[in-house]
Amino acid sequence: MIRAGIVGGTGYTGVELLRLLATHPAVELAVITSRGEKGVAVSELFPNLRGRVELAFVEPDDAVLKSCDVVFFATPNGTAMKSVPTLLEAGVKVIDLAADFRLRQATDWEQWYAMPHACPTLLEEAVYGLPEVNREAIRQARLVANPGCYPTAVQLGFLPLLAAGVVDPQSLIADAKSGVSGAGRKAAVGSLLCEAGDNFKAYNVPAHRHWPEIRQGLAAMTPDPVDLVFVPHLTPMIRGIHATLYARLTEPDIDLQALFEQRYAGEPFVDVLPPKSHPETRSVRGANLCRLAVHRPQNGKTVVVLSVIDNLVKGAAGQAVQNMNLMFGLPETAGLDQIALLP
Amino acid sequence: MIRAGIVGGTGYTGVELLRLLATHPAVELAVITSRGEKGVAVSELFPNLRGRVELAFVEPDDAVLKSCDVVFFATPNGTAMKSVPTLLEAGVKVIDLAADFRLRQATDWEQWYAMPHACPTLLEEAVYGLPEVNREAIRQARLVANPGCYPTAVQLGFLPLLAAGVVDPQSLIADAKSGVSGAGRKAAVGSLLCEAGDNFKAYNVPAHRHWPEIRQGLAAMTPDPVDLVFVPHLTPMIRGIHATLYARLTEPDIDLQALFEQRYAGEPFVDVLPPKSHPETRSVRGANLCRLAVHRPQNGKTVVVLSVIDNLVKGAAGQAVQNMNLMFGLPETAGLDQIALLP
Amino acid sequence: MIRAGIVGGTGYTGVELLRLLATHPAVELAVITSRGEKGVAVSELFPNLRGRVELAFVEPDDAVLKSCDVVFFATPNGTAMKSVPTLLEAGVKVIDLAADFRLRQATDWEQWYAMPHACPTLLEEAVYGLPEVNREAIRQARLVANPGCYPTAVQLGFLPLLAAGVVDPQSLIADAKSGVSGAGRKAAVGSLLCEAGDNFKAYNVPAHRHWPEIRQGLAAMTPDPVDLVFVPHLTPMIRGIHATLYARLTEPDIDLQALFEQRYAGEPFVDVLPPKSHPETRSVRGANLCRLAVHRPQNGKTVVVLSVIDNLVKGAAGQAVQNMNLMFGLPETAGLDQIALLP
Amino acid sequence: MIRAGIVGGTGYTGVELLRLLATHPAVELAVITSRGEKGVAVSELFPNLRGRVELAFVEPDDAVLKSCDVVFFATPNGTAMKSVPTLLEAGVKVIDLAADFRLRQATDWEQWYAMPHACPTLLEEAVYGLPEVNREAIRQARLVANPGCYPTAVQLGFLPLLAAGVVDPQSLIADAKSGVSGAGRKAAVGSLLCEAGDNFKAYNVPAHRHWPEIRQGLAAMTPDPVDLVFVPHLTPMIRGIHATLYARLTEPDIDLQALFEQRYAGEPFVDVLPPKSHPETRSVRGANLCRLAVHRPQNGKTVVVLSVIDNLVKGAAGQAVQNMNLMFGLPETAGLDQIALLP
């Protein structure tokens, strides 16, 4: 059994990691830490875990974490980078669900996250944990930067187009909609049911931290310079991201449906829907899955890709488990066979 | 007092018309018809109107309708066109909230609504009831085609850009999100709380009937040919449309904020927000108002307009009352001073 | 015009007061105070008020408040009692939307709100602002304690039964369900969309602060001792309270429907529905109205009353305006003719 | 492997059965029938099952059903009773998720379901499938009547009290709140998001079909006559039932917490929470679990029980699988270890 530790874990990413790891056939939950909630039973914070996870939150303790085979960081941005070097040195593998190791350039990190990076030399070693792009590197990695939720949905949608060179990389628009759990479990007025409920709005249109992460990922898919407009929106639901992607076709004769199906043939967690489909976020609720559909309205010059994930699963905890499976030589799908909950 | 009749009116457009007309200072509600609900008190179907609207639904009756000064059609598409000629002949003014008179070409109607038009000669006379574009014509009109909800939000957002000629009319993308009331009050599986709730999806990406209506409106704003991609989505809320609009700038030095503010200066029902704003649909819930914000992310070549309305008010019943006010020489804002309900 | 001031007013009660007062024909909004938000435009916090309320929040200032004819306190419990004596002395009428003056005994206040009362002598003078019970006293009052939301719904439901002496006052059960806005606009984990959404739970079953308030009100309706079980629940919606009330009949032959209709005949803001009805919270959304239905299942010994209000209107701001109207000799319905927003 | 068939199955009970059976270690899904949807892939109706259930709906066919080891009926009331005798004769075990075999008296059936019963002699043989009450009989049963959702939540809550004889059986009140999925997947105006969303109401207070079922179950728990008031409500969420139960204590010294814990010790799917708890419906979302808390407000004479289930799991499909496990000698928890999805 793999001994797994979780640092942080009082947020929605944490409870989802616990849900998945508690039934994972090859994992033993060894420890979960939280300064703020130490001594509190996990099941008191997350009543769904009552009877299923017996752990209580403990103060972070290097000795205990070093005894783990893998440590997941479900902490605010800027926390993991302080502890990761010590853990790696002790032979522990690390999966960071925050942003600390997602950007390859320390200067980008400092610009977008407004703090110096604590271990910039690890940025080069860290593998960006999008298995559909980096599977082999993840298998070898000691340190995986788990992608953000928007970046997962957007990159998987644009990937076949950019990889095949059939769209203008200067024409990319990602209009993305997220459920409110994307904002986390922190008490914030904007996330109240009475503020976010029965309401729809865009936010952070001038600048969002996922923009450089997405652009970096897209840039790696094509030799040409990439231009991306990214507009995130808040939609009144709990889980789910729907990314609607636009790009100008440069190859008008391409069979888009075949392109997508071929690119994702054999991928266990990407599902290309039949032509004329409209994926629904609920079709992946609670499941580690990205469902895609590709359209070309009026047979015109713009391709439209619809991409849905559960932001807490394929956009966070599920993808982290998928990465862990790869890092430890397990079947990639181990512990990830949940069927989406519908209705 | 203006004697007003409503044909149809068992749907959400109907209840909203009743709510607005019941407190309108210059209107007397004379009659409301419904074949299916004849004899039923309006307040039985719509409990919010109990004690406020004493009418019961009656069988449609030409004599009664002809005694009205204005008749609103809140009927399914294809119904109004059968009765309108008779009413106009009798000197009654007509406002159609359905699509019967929105498209100028009978061939377009027949293609998109799959039935022959009953009075194609009236298509030329009918005035498209978007006051911010057609105010003077509406004042003179006998027959107003009240715009669709998506078309209102999209046209008001693109109007300043196209009118000023500062964007490429071939680059227009409208990514629009609607609350479920846009689908009406009919019993349909897709509109159930358990289907549309906690869920997000695009629909009708290959073709939506509002596309030709929007394109026609946009084409009238610019001498150049227009190309429009329109992707509607269903969002799990009751009221509201949020349109996120994209266009490529051809005049990189234009002051977009000033352009929007100048175009809508003096408009009672269009509110241009300050720079860097994100309008929320709830800020117009129940109010006859379009709120707009204009962005230029990364100071790049794409302009992003955010446009919100309440689909049942500025996108339907409120705009219809605004048109009535114009047609009868009343103050344009008469009966339309409701403040949006928040939270 | 009545010069009105609001102390507090950054919460949902505040925005609702502003919405109602902004269109009240006899009121001039003079000042709104908030320490935390001073200098911020009201419309920045509450975007629905943009263009309708031009005030900005200011630091509380006795001189300005004393220049008002009436001051509403929309503050946390325990705030109003510190300022009220000074304002009354200056001839200002006061309506407190918090709990400071609701309980007649200072000892009850101290027990349930865990702080000493700052002006216990005013408790006797303060009039409990439930017009359907205390109308004449309110007309004469300088200081009105605006009832809580649950207490309004529960008392109006039990009133006809207790006043007529047809139920056992020892058998009262109030099973009440509230929308999340009842918890206010403060950032609290339990009120997040992702915690309170798609979820239902009871809370504070051992003890809730509205229990002594309700019991005090019910006790005044009957000479016999009252026993009340009160179980509040949180329901995943924004506005609305639904109280389901149970009592054992002692007069099995009573015509319950007639009893309710007679008791509330002439009441402008209480609506008794026909037999076999089920009032919906949305039928009063945004309106100052309590709708009631009375049932006797299986013609048995238990009477069931269904009572709905909008917690922010008849349960708070609307009732406060109703009280103001009475205190100033205005028509009781002035400024309160909004029709509920449905859907 | 147990060959399982499903008759009906186009509703929410059907999709939930499919979700559970598709990952059950001892079950092979053999057939699913639907007249209306024959030929349609299951995954087309229920997109969460894409890639997980390869079946298509077929016309009901006795030969195929008779080849099954067990057949689940997820049909409207009155359907199963027509086919069950034939299947039993063929040696197939049957679990009916509708109401056909829940009431022991054919006359009760006929009164409440307004049709004659097709096989009244089977009513005596049918076992009411509430394992916490009838476990041993279920193990031996050929025909199980799966309980209704409200009846499950209410009976499990009252059981310890009635079995121990510590409350007055004439004083029972069940105030129950259900998510909208309880109304099924049929197109009905009342279940639309725009009707049931952001709204709360009671319904069927004069009479609900679950009342005789609950009363029958409660009556079997006590030698004394039972009087029950049952008030169901619709709450704006998808899944979940919260029953708030009231009864008058006759044994004031009883330790209620211990009573509940002892009664349900060893029950795999009933969880008694610690004192002063408030179970949340989301804590059982997607899980086969009833969570209970027991209160005695103000240490008075009324006991309050809070009982939550997922109406589609412990209230329908999950309990059906639990019954199947018992009927086939499998571990009772086989295939039922899902952790509730939160948030």
Instruction: Identify the H or E element spanning C174.
Output: strand C172-178
Are A192 and C185 an interchain contact pair (Cβ–Cβ within 8 Å)? yes
Distance CA(D220)–CA(D137), nearest Å, equals 15
- Residue limits of CATH 3.30.360.10 in chain C: 150-311
In the numeric block, the tokens 């943009």 are attached to C50
Are A200 and B229 an interchain contact pair (Cβ–Cβ within 8 Å)? no
* Mean per-residue pLDDT over chain A, rounded: 97
What pLDDT score does D302 carry? 98
Q: Is the dihedral of CA C114, C119, C123, C126 positive or negative?
A: negative
Are D304 and C231 an interchain contact pair (Cβ–Cβ within 8 Å)? yes
- What are the C-alpha distances in Å from B216 to residues B108, B165, B176, B221? 10, 17, 17, 9
Are B339 and C19 an interchain contact pair (Cβ–Cβ within 8 Å)? yes
Name the residue of chain C whose CA is nearest to B310's CA: C343
What pLDDT score does B333 carry? 98
Q: State whether CATH 3.30.1180.20 applies to domain D150-310.
A: no
ipTM of the modeled complex: 0.97
3-class state of residue A257 by DSSP: helix
What pLDDT score does D215 carry? 98
Q: Which two tokens stand for residue C209?
A: 């602060």
Q: Which two tokens stand for residue D255?
A: 């330790």
> In percent, how much of chain C has pLDDT > 70?
100
Are A238 and C194 an interchain contact pair (Cβ–Cβ within 8 Å)? yes
What pLDDT score does D273 carry? 98
pLDDT digits (tens, 9 = 90+) for A280-336: 999 999 999 999 999 999 999 999 999 999 999 999 999 999 999 999 999 999 999
Which of the following is catalytic: B68, B119, B149, B290? B149
- Nearest CB to D238 within list B180, B181, B193: B193
Contact A235, A203 (CB under 8 A): no
Q: Which of D22, D25, D39, D28 is nearest to D5 (CA)?
A: D28
Q: Which two tokens stand for residue B316?
A: 């339907």
What pLDDT score does C148 carry? 97
| Residue numbers in B near A311 (CB within 8 A) | none
Name the residue of chain A whose CA is nearest to B294's CA: A205
Contact D18, D50 (CB under 8 A): no
Name the residue of chain B whose CA is nearest to D194's CA: B238
Per-position pLDDT tens, chain C of length 343: 999 999 998 999 999 999 999 999 999 999 999 999 999 999 999 999 999 999 999 999 889 999 999 999 999 999 999 999 999 999 999 999 999 999 999 999 999 999 999 999 999 999 999 999 999 999 999 999 999 999 999 999 999 999 999 999 999 999 999 999 999 999 999 999 999 999 999 999 999 999 999 999 999 999 999 999 999 999 999 999 999 999 999 999 999 999 999 999 999 999 999 999 999 999 999 999 999 999 999 999 999 999 999 999 999 999 999 999 999 999 999 999 999 999 9
Name the residue of chain A whose CA is nearest to D49's CA: A339
| Residue numbers in D near C173 (CB within 8 A) | 173, 246, 302
Residue C299, min C-alpha distance to chain D (Å): 9
Best mutation target among A45, A149, A181, A194 (most C Cβ atoms within 10 Å) is A194
Name the residue of chain A whose CA is nearest to D193's CA: A198
Using alpha carbons only, how large is chain C's radius of gyration in Å? Answer: 19
| Residue numbers in A near D47 (CB within 8 A) | 279-280, 282-283, 291, 342
Of the CA atoms within 13 Å of residue D49, those in its CB half-sphere come to 25
Q: Cβ contacts of residue A337 below 8 Å, gap of 6+?
A: D23
| Residue numbers in D near B188 (CB within 8 A) | 187, 192
Name the residue of chain D whose CA is nearest to A285's CA: D48
Q: Which two tokens stand for residue A213?
A: 């992460």
Distance CA(D219)–CA(D225), nearest Å, equals 7
Best mutation target among B201, B244, B280 (most A Cβ atoms within 10 Å) is B201
pLDDT digits (tens, 9 = 90+) for D186-233: 999 999 999 999 999 999 999 999 999 999 999 999 999 999 999 999
Are B48 and C22 an interchain contact pair (Cβ–Cβ within 8 Å)? no
Are D300 and C343 an interchain contact pair (Cβ–Cβ within 8 Å)? no
Name the residue of chain A whose CA is nearest to D282's CA: A48
Q: Which two tokens stand for residue D333?
A: 């928890």
Distance CA(B53)–CA(B45), nearest Å, equals 11
Distance CA(D281)–CA(D287), nearest Å, equals 10
Are B185 and D192 an interchain contact pair (Cβ–Cβ within 8 Å)? yes
Are C278 and D202 an interchain contact pair (Cβ–Cβ within 8 Å)? yes
- Nearest CB to B297 within list A206, A308, A343: A206
**pLDDT band (50, 70, 90) for residue A249:** very high
| Residue numbers in A near B343 (CB within 8 A) | 194-195, 197
Distance CA(C191)–CA(C12), nearest Å, equals 13
Beta bridge partners of B229: B173
Q: Cβ contacts of residue B71 below 8 Å, gap of 6+?
A: B4, B5, B6, B7, B65, B87, B92, B93, B94, B95
What pLDDT score does A229 carry? 98
Are B187 and D189 an interchain contact pair (Cβ–Cβ within 8 Å)? yes
pLDDT digits (tens, 9 = 90+) for B212-242: 999 999 999 999 999 999 999 999 999 999 9
Contact C241, C232 (CB under 8 A): no
Extended beta strands in chain A, E state: 2-8, 27-33, 70-74, 93-96, 127-128, 143-145, 172-178, 201-202, 228-234, 241-248, 270-272, 290-295, 302-309
Neighbours of C337 (CB within 10 A): 13
Residue A239, min C-alpha distance to chain C (Å): 8
Distance CA(A186)–CA(D121), nearest Å, equals 59
Q: How far from chain centre, in Å, is Cα B190?
A: 22
Are C237 and D173 an interchain contact pair (Cβ–Cβ within 8 Å)? no
Distance CA(B79)–CA(B74), nearest Å, equals 9
B2-125 fold:
Rossmann fold (3.40.50)
Contact B115, B93 (CB under 8 A): no
Please report, as a single letter, which amino acid is at residue D147: P
Give chains near C: 3+ CB pairs under 8 A. A, B, D
Distance CA(C254)–CA(C245), nearest Å, equals 17
Residue C76, min C-alpha distance to chain D (Å): 26
Apex D318 CA angle, D316 and D322, nearest 5: 115
- Average pLDDT in the B89-101 region? 98
pLDDT digits (tens, 9 = 90+) for A100-158: 999 999 999 999 999 999 999 999 999 999 999 999 999 999 999 999 999 999 999 99
| Residue numbers in A near B207 (CB within 8 A) | 297-298
What phi-psi label fits residue D299: left (phi over 0), alpha (psi between -120 and 50 degrees) or beta?
Answer: left
- Nearest CB to D180 within list B181, B189, B193: B193
What pLDDT score does A143 carry? 98
Chain D residues with CB-CB distance to A under 8 A?
12, 15, 19, 22-23, 46-52, 181, 185, 197-198, 238-239, 271, 273, 279-280, 282-287, 291, 337-343
Give chains near D: 3+ CB pairs under 8 A. A, B, C
Q: Which of B75, B17, B10 is nearest to B39 (CA)?
A: B10
Residue D192, min C-alpha distance to chain B (Å): 4
Name the residue of chain C whose CA is nearest to B269's CA: C51
Extended beta strands in chain D, E state: 2-8, 27-33, 70-74, 93-96, 127-128, 143-145, 172-178, 201-202, 228-234, 241-248, 270-272, 290-295, 302-309
| Residue numbers in D near B12 (CB within 8 A) | 194
Burial class of residue B36, CB neighbours in 10 A (0-12, 13-18, 19+): exposed
Whether B68 is catalytic is no
* Mean per-residue pLDDT over chain B, rounded: 97
Pairing assessment for the beta strands D93-96 and B93-96 based on DSSP bridges: unpaired
- Average pLDDT in the D233-237 region? 98
* Mean per-residue pLDDT over chain C, rounded: 97
Please report, as a single letter, which amino acid is at residue A319: Q
How many residue pairs from chains A and C have C-beta atoms closer than 8 A?
Answer: 61
Q: Which runs of consecutive H residues, i.e. helices, occur in chain B?
A: 12-22, 42-45, 62-66, 80-89, 106-113, 121-125, 131-140, 149-164, 193-196, 210-219, 256-264, 318-327
Distance CA(A189)–CA(C188), nearest Å, equals 8
* CATH numeric code, A150-311: 3.30.360.10
Best mutation target among B192, B203, B342 (most D Cβ atoms within 10 Å) is B192
Are A48 and D181 an interchain contact pair (Cβ–Cβ within 8 Å)? no
pLDDT digits (tens, 9 = 90+) for B36-74: 999 999 999 999 999 999 999 999 988 999 999 999 999
Q: Cβ contacts of residue B138 below 8 Å, gap of 6+?
A: B127, B129, B131, B144, B323, B326, B327
Q: How far from chain centre, in Å, is Cα A201?
A: 22
Instruction: Identify the H or E element spanning A124.
Output: helix A122-125
- Average pLDDT in the B243-269 region? 97
pLDDT digits (tens, 9 = 90+) for D80-134: 999 999 999 999 999 999 999 999 999 999 999 999 999 999 999 999 999 999 9
| Residue numbers in D near B286 (CB within 8 A) | none
User: What is the DSSP secondary-structure string of A1-52?
Assistant: -EEEEEEE-SSHHHHHHHHHHHT-TTEEEEEEE-STTTT-BHHHH-GGGTTT
Q: Which two tokens stand for residue C54?
A: 């031009």
- Residue limits of CATH 3.40.50.720 in chain D: 2-125
**Torsion (CA) B193, B198, B203, B205 in degrees, nearest 10:** 170
Q: Which of C250, C275, C284, C269 is nearest to C325 (CA)?
A: C269
Q: Which runs of consecutive H residues, i.e. helices, occur in chain D?
A: 12-22, 42-45, 62-66, 80-89, 106-113, 121-125, 131-140, 149-164, 193-196, 210-219, 256-264, 318-327
Chain A residues with CB-CB distance to C under 8 A?
12, 179-181, 185-189, 191-198, 236-238
